[in-house]
């Protein structure tokens, strides 16, 4: 592979040639003795940042909100790494890949250059009422574990575990039966009823949405016939 540095103008010319169909990505990579990923990275960066992608030499700083939005979009399957990177104006999909890796390993993800606040953290202790609220939110949002984790500052595994526990074992499965935690999670009959009603409303709404979807699907199928 090429060891000499490729100037900004050469990168820009190459990207424009590829985008205008004058040269294929493979041909450009061979000509410059670089990997295919380098060419696609330049293209992604150019689409998101224009000419500045090659003329702006300082590291670009990304806000906490930008990182959350980009990672969540990918985890929700809203597009490929390249598509989301381009949409968010990232310099390359490698940056997004790094953020996702940090999220999946529960490392801290801070706003660039600011010291920021941790937004991707390890699991934390939660109360029974919090777990009920988290499960309610998760079910109401189509079992979106990543979004639930980000909203409540818990790990992806916690969001999934709480929801699965409730769906298989009911409200009792959300209680912590260990020592002090057991007494903290103890509920009065009124509190239990309120919690059950909350979750029942969400489940009923989800069922209604599913029925509505199936009805619309049947209508579409009948039209085809």
Q: Residue for token digits 């309610």?
A: 136
pLDDT at 196 over 60: yes
Q: Which residues, in sequence order, are CB contacts of 1 under 8 Å at separation 6+?
A: 33, 34, 35
Tokens linked to 195: 């919690």
Rounded CA-CA distance 131/136 in Å is: 8
Rounded CA-CA distance 14/39 in Å is: 8
Query: Could you tell me the pTM of the whole model?
Result: 0.39
Tokens linked to 196: 């059950």
Write b or e for each residue in 159-176: b if 16 or more Cβ atoms lie within 10 A of its Cβ, otherwise e: bbbbbebbeeeebeebbb
CA 46 and chain centroid, separation: 23
- Region of poorest pLDDT, from 105-109, 125-129, 213-217: 105-109
Q: Residue for token digits 């010291």?
A: 115
CB 120 within 8 A of CB 109: yes
Average pLDDT of the residues in 39-59: 74
CB 64 within 8 A of CB 116: yes
pLDDT at 46 over 70: yes
User: Strand, coil or helix: what is 56?
Assistant: coil
Residue 183: predicted pLDDT: 47
Rounded CA-CA distance 46/179 in Å is: 57
Better-predicted residue by pLDDT, 112 or 148 = 148
Write b or e for each residue in 31-48: b if 16 or more Cβ atoms lie within 10 A of its Cβ, otherwise e: ebebeeebbbbbbbbbbb
Average pLDDT of the residues in 134-163: 84
């Amino acid at each position: 592979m090429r060891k000499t540095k490729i100037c900004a103008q050469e990168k820009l010319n190459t990207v424009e040639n590829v985008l205008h169909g004058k040269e294929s990505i493979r041909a450009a990579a061979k000509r410059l003795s670089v990997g295919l990923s380098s060419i696609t990275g330049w293209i992604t960066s150019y689409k998101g940042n224009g000419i500045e992608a090659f003329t702006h030499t300082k590291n670009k700083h990304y806000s906490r909100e930008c990182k959350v939005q980009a990672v969540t979009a990918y985890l929700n399957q809203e597009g490929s790494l390249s598509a989301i990177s381009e949409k968010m104006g990232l310099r390359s999909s490698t940056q997004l890949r790094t953020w996702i890796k940090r999220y999946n390993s529960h490392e801290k993800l801070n706003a660039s250059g600011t010291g920021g606040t941790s937004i991707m953290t390890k699991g934390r202790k939660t109360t029974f009422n919090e777990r009920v609220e988290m499960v309610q939110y998760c079910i109401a949002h189509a079992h979106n574990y990543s979004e639930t984790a980000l909203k409540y500052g818990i790990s992806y595994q916690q969001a999934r575990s709480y929801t699965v526990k409730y769906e298989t074992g009911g409200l009792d499965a959300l209680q912590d039966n260990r020592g002090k935690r057991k007494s903290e999670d103890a509920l009065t009959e009124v509190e239990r009823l309120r919690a059950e009603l909350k979750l029942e409303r969400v489940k009923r709404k989800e069922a209604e949405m599913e029925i509505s979807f199936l009805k619309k699907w049947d209508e579409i199928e009948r039209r085809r016939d």
